[in-house]
Structures are given as structure tokens and as C-alpha cells.
Amino acid sequence: MDNTFFAEYAWLVPLFPFIAFAVLTAMGKGLKKTGAWIGTIASFLSLVLSLCIAGERLSGNAPDYGNQMDWITIGKLKLVAGFEVTNLSTLMLVVVTLVAFLVNLYSQGYMKKDERISTFFAYVALFTSSMLGLVLSDNLLTFYIFWELVGVCSFLLVGFWYQKPEAKAAAKKAFIVTRIGDLGLLIGLLLLFWYMPGHALDFTTLHNVYDTQSGAISTGITTLIALLIFVGAVGKSGQFPLHVWLPDAMEGPTPISALIHAATMVAAGVFLVVRTFDIFEASQVAMNTVAIVGAFTAIFAATIGLAQNDIKRILAYSTVSQLGYMMLALGVGSVTGAMFHLFTHAFFKALLFLGAGSVIHSVHTQDIREMGGLGRKMKITAWTFGLGSLALSGIPPFSGFWSKDAILTAALDKQPILFVVAVIAAFFTALYMARLFFLVFAGKPREGQHAKESSSVMTIPLIVLAVLATVSGFVETPFNGWLGHWLFPEGAEHDASGLVMVVSAAVGLLGLYIGWLTFVKGTIRRNAISDRAPGLVTLVARKYYIDELYHVLFVRPLQGLGKVLDLFDDYVIDGVVRLTGHGASALGRLNSRLQGGQVQTYALTALISIVILVVAIAGRRFW
Amino acid sequence: MSMLSSYLTLAAVLFCIGLYGVLTKRNAIIVLLSIELMLNAVNLNLIAFSKYGVQPSLAGQIFSLFTISVAAAEAAVGIAVLIVLYRGRASVNVDEFDELRG
């Protein structure tokens, strides 16, 4: 069989969910249960095709397949659109379609009672389609279009329960904050377009320009472009200082948090940096920025995660922190580490979110202080959630350990300070996961709480993801750099460091142990820290007052500006409009008074007009 | 030359009286009469120019004869319309006939 047989049909992968979206939007509310199945089946077809492509590419050295067509021709300028299938995009295809399919399946249970279930599935299908399009794009222009599309879907889904004011506000916040990043990306793309030889925006040319003719674009401009692209990634991937939208986005339905705000869309920023990595590599400043922002975000979000009480918010800050790890990996030059962590993180974080959704579905609260002892009643959820927590905490041999290990190794190679920061963040990660897990599942059940295990349509995805969270790390271990070689055959770095493995496993276990002592055994008092340093705890619980700061610095002034512009609009613009309208109607009233049906008035008008006419003509003659 | 100007002045005076009547009188009969006055002012002009104009000729007088006969016909039609209107509305006041009000 031809080595690119399935790859040639890769364009079908985003098409299936798009058809589902079109059908669901057209048929609308008529299909409740059927609508859900349409979305699920479409994502299943995408998954099957993606697996076929992956199988084909795994079976041997299949060549990269790309297909382009001319999209817009303006004079000599030609814009092309197309897709390309490489090992990198195949990996993303599999991750996205797999998580999307499982989330679709899960939502059948989770959203069962919702009125607008078919709308929900339509949005999910649109999101899946755009995300797959983004993954397959072979140039930055279509990439950007899909990038915005996933942003829109995120907005729609965060605000899905728009009856809740918090959800509405969160949707707006998500959209506006990511917009700030998108603006940076847009400017970066325009600069790139301007400076690239031949105005090409496709990744292949980009690679060639920076690989072979590294002088085509000056270093200063390269740094600027790289930083602007990174601003886009910061917005989408919730890095500091644009991380504020991601925790608020948890107002959306939980399956959405799993799909969009944990596994796929937020990883798009990382994916963007990976795809344009040649630009970053050409600029040391940009690389350092990426590394520092990533490391800072990792530890910053991890500390906030320690003090939150909302189960989904803890996971959201954890996502921010893990995305920081990926950025850190990119900043220290380990693309493999970033992609590997993206890959494992997609599974275990989706698992954790879906597990949290299962808990929320059962106890109808998101506050972990109101939960407890759920482990006995929700066995499957508890077990799978536990596996996910172990993976996230970086306990060997779960997947998170291996991917975090790859990042830590790379960090130690380049910059020991970053390594220390990342290790501390890893400790906090284990600690907050232990707190979360033990508070929710261990201890005595609360009175009056009727928790029961969720239906199998919700637990099956959990089990599948739990298996993946456990084993997916073995594709790239210090003993076996398979993933790196598969993704980047030319320049796969592959380091192993026993020290890093020991340290990373040790901090993970230490975090879990302290968590266990605090929240199960009670050897360490829970409020040991809050008693001694109440200010510190408040500071962390209030998320370092970032939201308040932004409110004072940006939101208020902008609202003031908005008010001024509103007044301007009301009085100046509308004034002119009203003047025109009133003037016309006054003229009309005058004319209609003339049309009084009084023949004598007509005659008088005619007389006056003639007099005026005569005077005018005579006057012209004399002056 | 002074003859022409005095005729023209008389015609203008007549015309203005007629115009005043047309514009101010409520009674339709008087309006019609005022129109006759204006017509006759025109006739007077025609005749004055045929006698004292730059190129005197009989054409002006012939025209005025035509005007008088056409005006007679017009007056007949006008009166007839007025009678019909009077039958319908029991009034000849012009300001009551405002069916064409916009």
C-alpha cells in the first residue's frame, strides 16, 4: 500500500466534525438525543481516520505529505492554503480526536438533562473541527484563522450557560484577554509576512529561511517577531501575565474544561511556538523570555493552586502551571520535551477534569471543603482520578513523570536556576494534588450527601484516559527516545540524568506524603501555615491580587474611556444624526402645510415664487 | 411713448386688483370675476403694444379678440363647475374646497 494513502485524505479529519456542526445547527432543537450521537459519531470517524494516518506513519518512514492550492491571487502575490501531514501533526491529530471523542461520549451523560444539548454538541463539533484544522494547517495564515475560530468556540462554550452572570463575564473575559494575545500574534504575522522572502507564510519556507539562509531577516526583527508570536501563545496558553482568563473559564461545562481548557486549545499556544520554533531558535532573547515566562508561570500558578477551594479552579491553575512547564521546555530548547508533556498532559488533565466533572455531577458542588469520603461511593472515579493525580504529580512510572523528567533534564542542562524553580513547582504540584485528592475522596462522607457513581457512558472515558495517563509516558523515557526521534528525526536531543529522575520522583513523593500527613493523618495541622502567616495565605488565595490589579489598571480606565466615547456618541454623533432627521421632518411638515388644498395658498405661493425668481434674475443682471 | 406707459400702468393696476381679489376673496364668484379683471389687463397690454409697440401691427388686436372669446368660454365652464359644486356643498366659499389637502 502507498505510504501516503491515508495522509492524502487527512482533510477529511476536520471535515467530519464540521459536517456534524452544520447538521446540528441546521436541524437545531428537533434532535435531542440523536444530535448528541451525530457529534459523537463524527468525532469517532475523525478518530478512526487519525489512527489510520498514525498507523501508516508509524509503520515505516512515510514521507511527509502536503497539499496546497492557490487561495487568493492579488497581482503577483499569491496566498496559498493547504494541509500537511507530518509526524508532529499526526501526534496532535490523534490527541485531539481521541480526547474529543471521549469528551463527546462523556458529555452524553454529563449534559443529558440540558435543554440546549444539541447546541452544545454543535459547538463542540465546531471546536473539534477548527482545532483539527489548526493542527493540519501548513501555513501561518490558515493557522491564524483556525486559531481565532477555536477562540470563538471557547467563548461560546465558556458562556454556554449564559443565564449565569458569572459564565457571561467569564466568556467575555476569556475572549478579551486572549484577544490581547491574538493582537500580538497578528502583528507578528504581518511583520513576518512583510520580511519573509516572497511573502511566504508556510512552515516549510519558514524553516528553510531560518535553517539555510539565516541572514534573510535581521536579528532584531527576528526577536521582535518571535516575541510577538509568543504574546499570542501567552494569551492562548494562559501564561503569566495573561493567565487570568483560564481559571475563570471554568464556568463552562466541565467536559469543555477538559477538552478545550486542558487538553487541546490551551496547548495550541505551545503548538504554535513549536511550529515556529525556527524563529525562536534564531533569537536568544526570545528563547530566554519563553523560558523565564514558562518557569515563572509554572511556579506562580502552582502556588495559587495550593490555596483554592474550587475543584475545577485547582485543576485550572494546575493547567496553567503545566503549560508553563511546556513553555519552559521550549525556552531551553527541548521541543521534544514540550510536545511530550503536551501529549501526556492532554490525557491526564482531561482525565482529571472529567473525573472532577463526575464528582460535581454527583454531589452538585464544586467546593472541595464540602466533599469528602467519596472514594467509597464512586470507586471508578476515585481510582481513575487517583491515577491521574499520580501522573500529574510526576510519580514514576506514570506518564507525567517521564515527560516532566524530560523537561527537567533539559532545564538542568541549560540553566540550573530554572531547574530549581521547576522542581519547586513540581513539589507544589504534588502537594495540591494530594490536598485535592484526599479532601475529595478520603475521610468520612458528609452527611446528607447522596453521591453515587456516574453512568457508564461517563466512566468509560475515565477508564480509557486513566490507562493512557498511566502508559503514555513510555513512548519517551530516558532509556528510549522513540518519540523524539519520530517527531524530529533530524535534531532529536536525548539526554538522561539519573540525578534528575531521583530528584523529580523524590519531590513528587514528598509532596504527596506531606499532603497525606496533613489531610489524612492530621500529623501536620491543616492551618499550620495560615496561623503563622495569615497574610501569605490570603495573598495566595486571592491569586496575588492580579485580578484586582488588572481591574484598577486596565478595566476601570477602559470603562472610563468607554463612558466618554459613549457620551461622545450620544451627544455628538447621535446629535448630528438627530439633527438631520429632525431637519428633514420639519421641512416635511412645512411642505405638508403648504399642501393645504387651499387654492389661494397655492396661488400665493406661486406669486411669491415668481417674484423671487424675477428678483433673482433681475438681480443677476445688475450685479 | 408716454401713451404706452400710461396704458401699461393701467393694465398693471387692473392686474394687481384682480390678483388681490383672487388671493383674498372667499366667494368663488368674486374670484372668477377677479380672474376676468386680470385677463382684461392682459388684453389691454396686447392692444397697447399693437398700437404703440416697437413694431405696431394688427396681430395684437386679433389676439385680444381671441382671448376675449376664449375667456367667455372659460367663464361659462367656470360658472358651470361652480354650480355643480354649489349643488354638492351648498356653498361657494373657496376655502371650504380643500379635498386636495396633502
Rounded to whole angstroms, how far apart are CA atoms A59 and A95? 19
| Chain B residue numbers touching A596 (CB-CB < 8 A) | 98, 101-102
In a domain, A23, yes or no: yes
| Chain A residue numbers touching B22 (CB-CB < 8 A) | 600, 603
First to last CA, chain A: 96
Query: Across the strands, what pairs with A370?
Result: none
Number of domains within chain A: 3
Taking a C-beta distance cutoff of 8 angstroms, is the pair A267, A342 a contact? yes
Same domain? For A587 and A504 the reply is no
A581 min Cα distance to partner chain B (Å): 21
Domain end marker among A513, A540, A567: A540
In a domain, A585, yes or no: yes
DSSP A243: T
- For A576-585, how does the pLDDT look when each residue is reduced to its tens digit (9 = 90+)? 999 999 999 9
Rounded to whole angstroms, how far apart are CA atoms B8 and A187? 84
A607 min Cα distance to partner chain B (Å): 9
Instruction: Check CB contact of B87 with chain A, cutoff 8 Å.
Output: no
Is the pLDDT at B43 greater than 90, yes or no? yes
- For B49-74, how does the pLDDT look when each residue is reduced to its tens digit (9 = 90+)? 998 888 888 988 999 999 999 999 99
Query: Across the strands, what pairs with A77?
Result: A74
Same domain? For A558 and A511 the reply is no
- Judged by CB atoms closer than 8 Å, whether chains meet at B23 and A607 is answered as yes
pTM of the model: 0.77
Instruction: Check CB contact of B82 with chain A, cutoff 8 Å.
Output: no
Helix (H/G/I), strand (E/B), else coil: B90: coil
Instruction: Check CB contact of A212 with chain B, cutoff 8 Å.
Output: no
Instruction: Check CB contact of A607 with chain B, cutoff 8 Å.
Output: yes
Q: What amino acid occupies position A157? A: L
Same domain? For A496 and A564 the reply is no
In a domain, A276, yes or no: no
C-alpha cell at A336: 521534544
Instruction: Check CB contact of B101 with chain A, cutoff 8 Å.
Output: yes
Burial of B8 (0-12, 13-18, 19+ CB in 10 A): middle
| Chain A residue numbers touching B94 (CB-CB < 8 A) | 598-600
Domains along chain B with CATH numbers = 3-93 (1.10.287.3510)
Same domain? For A343 and A474 the reply is yes
Per-residue pLDDT, A501: 83
| Chain B residue numbers touching A591 (CB-CB < 8 A) | 102
- Determine the residue of chain A that is closest to B98 in CA distance: A597
Taking a C-beta distance cutoff of 8 angstroms, is the pair A452, A377 a contact? yes
Same domain? For A94 and A134 the reply is yes
Same domain? For A410 and A531 the reply is yes
- Judged by CB atoms closer than 8 Å, whether chains meet at A595 and B100 is answered as yes
Rounded to whole angstroms, how far apart are CA atoms A270 and A339? 8
Same domain? For A530 and A586 the reply is no
A609 min Cα distance to partner chain B (Å): 15
Q: What amino acid occupies position A328? A: L
C-alpha cell at B101: 389637502
In a domain, A501, yes or no: yes
DSSP A77: E
Q: What amino acid occupies position A351? A: L
- Determine the residue of chain A that is closest to B16 in CA distance: A607
In a domain, A189, yes or no: no
Same domain? For A429 and A509 the reply is yes
- Judged by CB atoms closer than 8 Å, whether chains meet at B23 and A603 is answered as yes
Same domain? For A415 and A558 the reply is no
Helix (H/G/I), strand (E/B), else coil: A489: coil
- Judged by CB atoms closer than 8 Å, whether chains meet at B102 and A591 is answered as yes
Domain end marker among A503, A521, A540: A540
Per-residue pLDDT, A491: 58
Instruction: Check CB contact of A594 with chain B, cutoff 8 Å.
Output: yes
Per-residue pLDDT, A1: 46
Instruction: Check CB contact of A599 with chain B, cutoff 8 Å.
Output: yes
Interface of B with A in 3-32 (CB under 8 A): 19, 22-24
Pairing of strands A77-85, A65-74: antiparallel
Q: Which domain holds residue A382?
A: 334-540
Rounded to whole angstroms, how far apart are CA atoms A406 and A478? 8
Same domain? For A521 and A466 the reply is yes
Per-residue pLDDT, A18: 92
Same domain? For A342 and A488 the reply is yes
Band of residue B16 on the pLDDT scale cut at 50, 70, 90:
very high
Taking a C-beta distance cutoff of 8 angstroms, is the pair B95, B26 a contact? yes
Per-residue pLDDT, A561: 93
B40 min Cα distance to partner chain A (Å): 19
- Judged by CB atoms closer than 8 Å, whether chains meet at A596 and B19 is answered as no
- Judged by CB atoms closer than 8 Å, whether chains meet at A604 and B23 is answered as yes
In a domain, A71, yes or no: yes
Instruction: Check CB contact of A588 with chain B, cutoff 8 Å.
Output: no
Rounded to whole angstroms, how far apart are CA atoms A428 and A434? 10
**Cross-chain CB nearest to B100 (options A591, A592, A597):** A597
Per-residue pLDDT, A410: 85
Per-residue pLDDT, A213: 60
B87 min Cα distance to partner chain A (Å): 20
| Chain A residue numbers touching B98 (CB-CB < 8 A) | 596-598
Same domain? For A368 and A465 the reply is yes
Helix (H/G/I), strand (E/B), else coil: A115: coil
From the list A27, A24, A276, the residue with the least C-alpha distance to A144 is A276
In a domain, A289, yes or no: no
Rounded to whole angstroms, how far apart are CA atoms A281 and A332? 10
Ramachandran region, residue A225 (left: φ > 0; alpha: ψ -120 to 50; beta: rest):
alpha
- Judged by CB atoms closer than 8 Å, whether chains meet at B102 and A603 is answered as no
Domain end marker among A519, A540, A561: A540
Q: How much of chain A is helix, strand and coil, in % rounded to 5?
A: 75, 5, 20
Quickly tell me which residue has 493542527 as its cell: A135
Instruction: Check CB contact of B73 with chain A, cutoff 8 Å.
Output: no
Quickly tell me which residue has 541549560 as its cell: A414
Helix (H/G/I), strand (E/B), else coil: A570: helix
In a domain, A320, yes or no: no
Q: What amino acid occupies position A586? A: A
Count residue pairs from A and B with Cβ separation < 8 A: 30
* Positions of chain A with pLDDT lower than 70, given as ranges: 1-3, 28-29, 60-61, 212-215, 447-449, 479, 489-496, 530
Taking a C-beta distance cutoff of 8 angstroms, is the pair A385, A348 a contact? no
- Determine the residue of chain A that is closest to B21 in CA distance: A600
